[in-house]
Amino acid sequence: MPNIIPFKAVKPTRAIVGLVAARPYQSYTLDERESRMAYNPFSFLHIVNPGYKYDQEVTGKERYRMVQNRYLEFKEDGIFVQDENPSFYVYKIVNRHGHEFNGIIAAASAEDYEKDLIKKHEDTIAQREETFKSYLQTVGFNAEPVLLTYPDNAVIAAIIKDTQKGYAEFEFTMTYRDTHYLWKVEDPKTIGIIQEEFKKMKTVYIADGHHRSASSYLLYNDEKAKNPKHQGNESYNYFMSYLIPESELVIQEFNRLVKDLNGFTKEEFLIQLDTTFRIENRGIMPYQPKEAHHFSMYLDGEFYSLFLRKTAYEFHTALDALDAQILYITILQPLLGIDDLRHNDRISYVNGQHEMVTIKSSVDSGAFKVGFGLCPSNVHQMKQIADEGLTMPPKSTYILPKLRSGITIYEY
């Protein structure tokens, strides 16, 4: 029975929302950030990079305090305005590839995260959890929703569709050619229906934002412990989320690049692979796997297809059947000596938005020795792994939509 509630979002004004909205800070190169901040005084990047105002790099608690100051300045200048009534926000994204995402921005319960009513499929790093928790405690707001997904629901779908017939409060297109729309839902009856439909669900699933969810849960525990009058309805009991139906979630693969063959010659490596895979040399023609347990490999100027031998590998859990796990168990760990997928600098990842020629060019440049292409996983696999209490290897999924910061803000 997930508890999803409306909240009073802080939002940019309609006239400048497209100038405020920004991708996550880390997704920009230094030159991109500098350019956007130099020519756009409304960009949310000015808030999360507060030292720019003084041409100074700041870190830690000092940066957090300055983030809060920049945010308050945006409110004082009327760039951000808070809604008067708690609302749900119907949010639609149409990306440049034609994918359409329709969902609801709401506040999800940290207690539901604790009770596993909000399920996870990825491991998190404790240090990153603590860092972002400290950030939230200092700045007092969160500007990027966690992406949650739920089983398709006819009642919620009808409400979203009916809401979208009205005038959109926001409609703007970003430089990446993604178009965003937002409608506010503040009618108490409609809000109640949406909440009841979510309460009928057994669980919802984190699609993207595992660290933000975990940090919000740590914040909830800290604030509850410090509050002798804790009642359960305080803002820290919840975290901002964008909930979309499973059928609209797009999952793409992360391909792998490795810098060396761990001492093997090309011929020795191919012989080792032959134990577990049927191998076919595809020459210079790029090969993109289309089925589960099929892999692409680019090595020494040639593409290969690798088909998992059914007699060479056993499936006991949903995780065992995940291609990212198969690649790790059969090649990356035993042959290439990569135990830690998250921190080993011999391996890099390329998301599925890039074609196989990206792997080819990376290997041909000499920066990497071999590249592997995977078939993307699906929502059913993600849910199975979460339901079994297991976690995927790092960089197993590249999930769309990718959300922007600064469009709706949740204050603690």
Q: Residues 68, 92: one domain?
A: yes
Looking at the structure of the chain, the number of domains it has is: 2
**Together in a domain, 272 and 407:** no
The predicted model scores a pTM of 0.93
- Considering the domain architecture, whether residues 40 and 166 belong to the same structural domain is answered as yes
Among residues 199, 186, 113, which one has the least CA distance to residue 155?
Answer: 199
The predicted pLDDT at position 215 comes to 97
Question: Which residues partner with 5 through β-bridges?
Answer: 107
- Give first-to-last CA distance, the chain, whole Å: 24
Output the DSSP codes for 327-368: HIIIIITTTT----TTT-TTEEEEETTS-HHHHHHHHHTTS-
- What is the C-alpha separation between 164 and 103, in angstroms, rounded? 11
Cα-to-chain-centroid distance, residue 261: 31
Q: Which domain holds residue 308?
A: 254-396
Are residues 92 and 150 located together in one domain of the fold? yes
Rounded-to-integer distance, Cα 142 and Cα 147, Å: 14
Residues 22 and 152 in one domain: yes
State which amino acid sits at residue 108: A
Can you give the pLDDT at residue 24?
A: 85
Count other C-beta atoms under 10 Å from residue 164's C-beta.
13
Rg of the Cα atoms in the chain: 23
Cis link prior to 401 (omega < 30° from 0)?
A: yes
Tokens, residue 169: 């409060």
Kindly state whether residues 16 and 126 are assigned to the same domain.
yes
Residue 205 and residue 74 in one domain: yes
Q: Which two tokens stand for residue 75?
A: 């409110």
Residue 304 shares a structural domain with residue 389: yes
Evaluated on CA atoms 197, 199, 205, 211, the torsion sign reads positive
Who's near 38: CB < 8 A, 6+ residues apart? Answer: none
> Are residue 276 and residue 222 in the same domain, yes or no?
no
Contact 238, 108 (CB under 8 A): yes
DSSP per position, 61-80: HHHHHHHHHHHHHHHHTTSE
Answer yes or no: are the C-beta atoms of 404 and 22 closer than 8 Å.
yes
Contact 406, 180 (CB under 8 A): no
Amino acid at 57: E
Considering the domain architecture, whether residues 170 and 90 belong to the same structural domain is answered as yes
Six-digit token pair at 388? 């079994």
Determine phi and psi for 48, rounding to 5 degrees.
Answer: -80, -10
Element (H, E) at 90: strand 88-94
Residue type at 79 in one-letter notation:
I
224 and 278 part of one domain:
no
Q: What is the domain-level CATH number for residue 368?
A: 3.30.1760
CB 102 within 8 A of CB 92: yes
Of 45, 52, 50, nearest to 60 by C-alpha is 50
pLDDT of residue 379: 96
φ/ψ bin of 141: left (φ > 0), alpha (ψ from -120 to 50), beta (otherwise): beta
Helices 188-199 and 154-163: crossing angle, nearest 10°? 150
Residue type, 3: N
Q: Per-residue pLDDT for the chain (412 aa), expressed as one digit of tens each?
A: 899 999 999 999 999 999 999 998 888 888 888 899 999 999 999 999 988 877 777 778 899 999 999 999 999 999 999 999 999 999 999 998 889 999 999 999 999 999 999 999 998 888 999 999 999 999 999 999 999 999 999 999 999 999 999 999 999 999 888 999 999 999 999 999 999 999 999 999 999 999 999 999 999 999 999 999 999 999 999 999 999 999 999 999 999 999 999 999 999 999 999 999 999 999 999 999 999 999 999 999 999 999 999 898 999 999 999 999 999 999 999 999 999 998 899 999 999 887 888 999 999 999 999 999 999 999 999 999 999 999 999 899 999 999 999 999 999 9
Considering the domain architecture, whether residues 142 and 48 belong to the same structural domain is answered as yes
Q: Which pLDDT score, from 0 to 100, does residue 310 have?
A: 86
Q: What is the pLDDT of residue 55?
A: 75
Amino acid letter, 323:
D
Query: Do the Cβ atoms of 21 and 407 come closer than 8 Å?
Result: yes
How far out from the chain centre does Cα 177 lie? 19
Task: Determine if the peptide bond prior to 286 is cis (ω within 30°).
Answer: no
- Residue 74 pairs in a beta bridge with none
On whether the CB atoms of residues 87 and 6 are closer than 8 A, the answer is yes
Three-state DSSP class for 15? coil
